[in-house]
Each structure stands twice: as C-alpha cells, then as structure tokens.
Amino acid sequence: MTRNAVAVVAGVFALLLDVWTVAPAPNLPLLIPAVIVPEIAPWGAIVALLALAVSLRWGRGVARLAGLAFGSAALVCALLPLAELPGTIAASDAAMRAALGNAADDGPRFDLHRFFFGRKLDPRVRVTHDLPVLTRDGTRLALDLYRAPGAGPHPAVVVIYGGGWRGGLRSDTASEDRRLAALGYDAIAIEYRLAPQYRFPVELDDVDDALATIARNARAWGVDPRRVALLGRSAGGELALLAAYRRQPLTIRAVVAYYPPVDLRGGYLEPRLFDPGHIRMLVRDYLGGPPDAAPGAYRAASPIDAVRAGLPPTFVVGGARDQLVSLRFQRDFRDALRAHGDTVVALEFPWSNHAFDEIPYGLGGQLARNYVAQFLTATL
C-alpha cells in the first residue's frame, strides 16, 4: 500500500469510527458502536488526530486533502460529546441542587485519568453468591450479597439487571455491585424469571419475593432494613420503580433507574426511525400482546401510571440518543412526579445512547455513577 493510500485509509478509518457519535444505529449489531463510541470520545479524538498526522506526514496532493478532510470530519464528531460535557455537568448539578438542596455535593464529576486508566476495586468487599430466594409459587431463585467493608448493619442497595425482560443475569452487575459495596452499601444483586416463558407480573412478583427474603435475613446479613434503595437498568429500572412504589417489608428510601421504560404503551406506539432492539416484540412478550389486547397489563407495568404523592425520592438518567427508550417519556415521568410533590432527579446526557454506563469510566458512566453516589448519600 502506498503512502498516499495509507493517508486516505487512516482518515476514512477515523471517520468510520467517530461517526457513531452522531449516527443512529439501523440494526442491533451496529447499536454496539453507537453506544460505545460517544462514551469514549477522548479516544476517538486521539484516533482522529493520529489520522490527521498521518495525512500531513505521508499524503501528497489529492490524497493528502482527502485524508485531511476525512480526519477533520472525524475530529469534529469526536469533539461533540466533549463540547457538550461542561454544559451537561452544569445542568446536572442544577437538577441535583433543585431536588436535594444543601444535600447535593459539589464534588468531582469526570476524571480524565480514571477514563484512561480506570480504578482498582476495593479488595475488602466480600461476596456471598447464590443465597436462596423462595418465590410465592415455590420456584427457587437466588441472590448475591456484596458486603461493604466494616461492621454492619449497612444501608443496602438492591440491584436489578436489565435485558429487555428476556435476558440478563445477576453477574451482569458484578462490577457495579462491588463499587457500591466499596462506597459503604451492602449491594444485593437479585434475579427474576424472564419472558416470554414468564409474563408480567411474574417478574415484579419475583422482585417483591427477593425483597421479602432480604427483610427476613437482614439481621443475619448485617443489612439495615430501614435504609434500602433499589437500583435498576432498562427493564430492571422499570421493575425497580414499580417495586419501590409498592408496599414492601423493607423501608425503601430511594430508587435509581437508568434509562427505564416508564410508559410502555407510549413506547410501543411511538414511531421509530430505526428499532435495533425490536422493542415492540420485547414488550409483547413481556405483557402478552399489543396495548389493545392487554391494556390493564400496560398500565400496571408502567411506572408513570403508579405515580402518586408520598413516593420515595427517585433518580432517573437517560441519553438523548437512546434508540430503545425515548427520553421524552422520562421527561413526562419527571413532570408527573413533580406535580405530585415527590422528590425527583432527572438527568439527561445529550451524547448517550441506551446502556451507556456499560462503559464504566466513559463520559456518561462516570457522571452517572458520581451523581448516583451523591444521591444515595443524600437519601440513605
């Protein structure tokens, strides 16, 4: 390959990578780069700068111009999330202060060193796997307990995985559970049965039964049953919200939901340019059919229909580029909670897609975890 060809290829490669900061994914395989690339924008900017350097060093004539054009376009794409970062932090800080008042902390939000090098997990966290949960119909499930360092009882965060109600494992949240335990919370990863074999409300009943198991064993496990938060992602966020808004044997002091589907009827009916996650199929499998066939199930499974006065403080976060759960439903949900006088923090990350926090030290992942830690400190 000639040097001119290398100059052009470098620019094209950088653009094909960085374009996913702005391009929607037309199918499920391409949803992966559409989720990851915006969250690793500093790396994308480095790739674009390297492509520009190669074009300047090796390119000649038209090849140099082409390489510079492709590399410059890639750099613009990569810099967009970074340009949005300061304003997003300011808006998120304001939302935290508005909801929590003086309890909102002005600590660090994003650490570039941590982005590139990560962070070691606390080795003092002890894990007990496969503690049994007996459901109301006799099915045996299990949970994993990540114990915070030091003597208890500790406040607890019950973690519910996502997966479109069709997939997911307790182990999916292991890294997050360890981080929560390192912060001083007993993190408890629970499980629930999955669609289409099991349909709503089985999944919610399983969550309730896990919470009842935790209540029965709280003293033995060193868990404070009066200081409990629920935390879920996507489908797990929907279940966390529904469970937190019901009567429970534990005192639910707060609920955290990452990009949760809060209006299942609205989400089903909303037209989509692309549907890489096959949302309508997932919802039909979960609820037993389309909205006109199961209207009661759609209402019962939608957290927005469970809003009332006196709910525990709620934290929701989503991305403006989310292709599975539209951010406008989060806004409607936020407004409904505020109208009833409930405490709610609703954060929006303009560059983020669904599951953005799967990149733990990426832009959105760092921000979300820092704000969630602040929220839990204020509410637990």
SS3 355: coil
232 vs 258: CA distance, rounded Å: 6
73 vs 132: CA distance, rounded Å: 54
Catalytic residue numbers, as ranges: 234, 322, 354
Please answer whether residues 97 and 88 qualify as being in contact, where contact means their C-beta atoms are separated by less than 8 angstroms: no
Q: What is the pLDDT along the chain (380 residues), one digit of tens a residue?
A: 688 888 889 999 999 999 999 999 999 999 999 999 999 999 999 999 999 999 998 888 998 899 999 999 999 999 999 999 999 999 999 999 999 987 667 666 776 666 566 667 777 889 999 999 999 999 999 999 999 998 879 999 999 999 999 999 999 999 999 999 999 999 999 999 999 999 999 999 999 999 999 999 999 999 999 999 999 999 999 999 999 999 999 999 999 999 999 999 999 998 777 889 999 999 999 999 999 999 999 999 999 999 999 999 999 999 999 999 999 999 999 999 999 999 999 999 999 999 999 998 899 999 999 999 999 999 99
Q: Which residues contact 347 (CB under 8 A, 6 or more apart)?
A: 91, 92, 95, 315, 316, 317, 318, 367, 368, 371
Please answer whether residues 37 and 97 qualify as being in contact, where contact means their C-beta atoms are separated by less than 8 angstroms: no
Domain ranges of the chain: 3-85, 105-379
Q: What is the pLDDT of residue 1?
A: 67
Q: What is the pLDDT of residue 107?
A: 64
For the domain 105-379, what is the CATH code?
Answer: 3.40.50.1820
State the pTM of this model.
Answer: 0.95
Bridge partner list, 190: 160
